[in-house]
């Protein structure tokens, strides 16, 4: 007898939109790089983390809460929500929390973006915006950045063009202010004009993950601009200035409580852990110490910016805890050369290099490595 022909089993496959997505690439681990190149330590300036240990009150709160980890966390994060409501003078119903600001962005797209609708934003900006639209089956309306200074590189939002790009399909607009990865920020008058131009049925999210590092008085607090505008919400995080990157707590403040309610409905249950909630409450209670740390970072940002400009690199004024080196086609080459010298940065191929403001010692290591790269490269990177 002839053997029965084997039937080929169907192959399980992901949705096309998901299969086509590039994988998210976090900053390299410093210890892994050090082992790879055979040096004692490496400096990581890729992920915009604070160069400080956890706040003492945060460590105490985590230790005190550890005994509760056999129980589910408070899904509504009532204590943290009340602390945030008091801090920003809003009602608890205007707040929605998530497992980091990026997850709140995901909740926003799940709540407001249908297939065929769109998300608008300036580009280059936070790399998750187009990916979230892709997963939701939505389109992206990407508006190119423009030079923030005459003769400079494209690094700043063109809010006039962004407002013009909004159409009847646009459900969400993200304005990352200060912008990640360029560090530039838009100012009050142009932002107010933009918000007034966006249709009332389009939600504008002011992504202010780096708000605490803003020193330019002309850059407004998004919560102030939100008031009286029902289609505006503000996104913040505990990962940066508050030093809780490893615990993942982000939150949205919405003028319209219905917006916050929609975002809460798309929260993965219990995704903000008990430890994270307790740590965030403790961090808020340590605001004076946080302000001191932020001041140290912004002072070091000024020093680092001046040092880079002194090397002929056109670094824009940053309002975040990182600086942007517009290296263009040299970006990947320079990033790789820095890694070979035990310094990890964040390259955006063909565009620029984002470098976190580290401690003075870490930044000196970076500057020394960069000097070595500049002198070992015939053309250097100045003016790239």
Question: What's the rounded Cα separation, in Å, for the pair 21 and 17?
Answer: 7
Hey, which residues does 284 pair with through a beta bridge?
none
- Please give the chain's pLDDT, 384 residues, in tens: 555 555 666 789 888 888 888 877 777 899 999 999 999 999 999 999 999 999 999 999 999 999 999 999 999 999 999 999 999 999 999 999 999 999 999 999 999 999 999 999 999 999 999 999 999 999 999 999 999 999 899 999 999 999 999 999 999 999 999 999 999 999 999 999 999 999 999 999 999 999 999 999 999 999 999 999 999 999 999 999 999 999 999 999 999 999 999 999 999 999 999 999 999 999 999 999 999 999 999 999 999 999 999 999 999 999 999 999 999 999 999 999 999 999 999 999 999 999 999 999 999 999 999 999 998 875 455 444
SS (H, E, C) 170-222: EEEEEEECCCCCCCCCCCHHHHHHHHHHCCCCCEEEEECCCHHHCCCCCCCCH
- Render 84-132 in DSSP notation, one character per residue: HHHHHT--GGGEEEESSHHHHHHHHHHHH--TT-EEEEEESS-THHHHH
Q: What CATH number does domain 18-47+288-376 carry, 3.40.50.720, 3.60.21.10, 3.90.1150.10, 3.40.640.10? A: 3.90.1150.10
The whole-number pLDDT of residue 383 equals 47
Question: What's the rounded Cα separation, in Å, for the pair 143 and 124?
Answer: 9
Domain definitions of the chain by residue range: 18-47+288-376, 56-284
Question: What's the rounded Cα separation, in Å, for the pair 362 and 329?
Answer: 26
Hey, which residues does 173 pair with through a beta bridge?
120, 204
Phi, psi values for residue 347, rounded to 5°: -85, 145
Per-residue CA distances from 299 to 7, 214, 296, 333 (Å): 68, 12, 5, 29
The whole-number pLDDT of residue 7 equals 64
Q: Which residues neighbour 311 within 8 Å (Cβ) at sequence distance 6 or greater?
A: 370, 371, 374, 382
The whole-number pLDDT of residue 11 equals 86
Measuring CA to CA, which residue among 321, 281, 282 is closest to residue 299?
321
Q: What CATH number does domain 56-284 carry, 3.40.50.300, 3.40.640.10, 3.50.30.10, 3.60.21.70? A: 3.40.640.10
Question: What's the rounded Cα separation, in Å, for the pair 142 and 130?
Answer: 9
pTM of the entire predicted model: 0.94
Question: In this structure, are residues 123 and 320 in contact, taking their beta carbons and an 8 Å threshold?
Answer: no
Calculated CA dihedral for residues 105, 109, 111, 114, nearest 10 degrees:
180
The whole-number pLDDT of residue 8 equals 66
Q: Which residues neighbour 232 within 8 Å (Cβ) at sequence distance 6 or greater?
A: 195, 203, 204, 205, 206, 222, 225, 226, 254, 255
Which DSSP helix (H) or strand (E) runs through 35?
helix 30-37
The whole-number pLDDT of residue 24 equals 75
Phi-psi region of 243 (alpha: psi -120 to 50; beta: other; left: phi over 0): left
**Integer-rounded Cα radius of gyration of the chain:** 22
Number of Cβ within 10 Å of residue 165's Cβ equals 17
End-to-end CA separation in angstroms for the chain? 73
């Amino acid at each position: 007898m002839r053997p029965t022909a084997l039937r080929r089993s169907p192959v399980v496959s992901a949705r096309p939109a998901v299969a086509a997505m590039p994988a998210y690439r976090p900053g390299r681990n410093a210890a892994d790089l050090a082992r790879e190149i055979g040096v004692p330590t490496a400096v990581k300036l890729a992920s915009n983390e604070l160069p400080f240990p956890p706040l003492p009150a945060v460590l105490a709160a985590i230790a005190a809460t550890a005994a509760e980890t056999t129980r589910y966390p408070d899904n509504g994060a009532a204590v943290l929500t009340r602390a945030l409501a008091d801090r920003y003078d809003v009602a608890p119903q205007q707040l929605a929390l998530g497992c980091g600001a990026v997850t709140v962005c995901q909740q926003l797209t799940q709540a407001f973006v249908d297939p065929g609708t769109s998300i608008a934003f300036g580009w280059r900006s936070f790399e998750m915006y187009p990916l979230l639209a892709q997963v939701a089956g939505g389109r992206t309306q990407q508006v190119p950045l423009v030079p923030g200074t005459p003769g400079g590189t494209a690094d700043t939002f063109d809010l006039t063009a962004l407002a013009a790009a909004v159409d009847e399909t646009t459900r969400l607009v993200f304005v990352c202010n200060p912008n990640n990865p360029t560090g530039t920020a838009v100012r009050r008058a142009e932002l107010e004009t933009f918000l007034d131009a966006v249709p009332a049925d389009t939600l504008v999210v002011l992504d202010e993950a780096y708000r605490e590092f803003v020193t330019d008085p002309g850059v407004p607090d998004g919560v102030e601009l939100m008031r009286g505008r029902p289609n505006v919400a503000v996104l913040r995080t505990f990962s940066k200035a508050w030093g809780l990157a490893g615990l993942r707590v982000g939150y949205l403040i919405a003028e319209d409580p219905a917006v916050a309610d929609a975002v809460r409905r798309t929260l993965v249950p219990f995704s903000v852990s008990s430890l994270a909630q307790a740590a965030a409450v403790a961090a808020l209670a340590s605001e004076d110490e946080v302000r001191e740390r932020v001041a140290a970072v912004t002072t070091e940002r000024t020093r680092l910016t001046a040092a880079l400009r002194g090397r002929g690199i056109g670094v824009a004024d940053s309002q975040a805890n990182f600086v942007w080196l517009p290296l263009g086609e040299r970006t990947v080459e320079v990033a790789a050369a820095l890694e070979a010298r035990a310094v990890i940065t964040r390259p955006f191929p063909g565009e620029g290099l984002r470098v976190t403001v580290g401690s003075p010692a870490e930044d000196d290591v970076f500057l020394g490595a960069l000097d070595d790269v500049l002198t070992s490269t015939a053309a250097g990177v100045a003016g790239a």
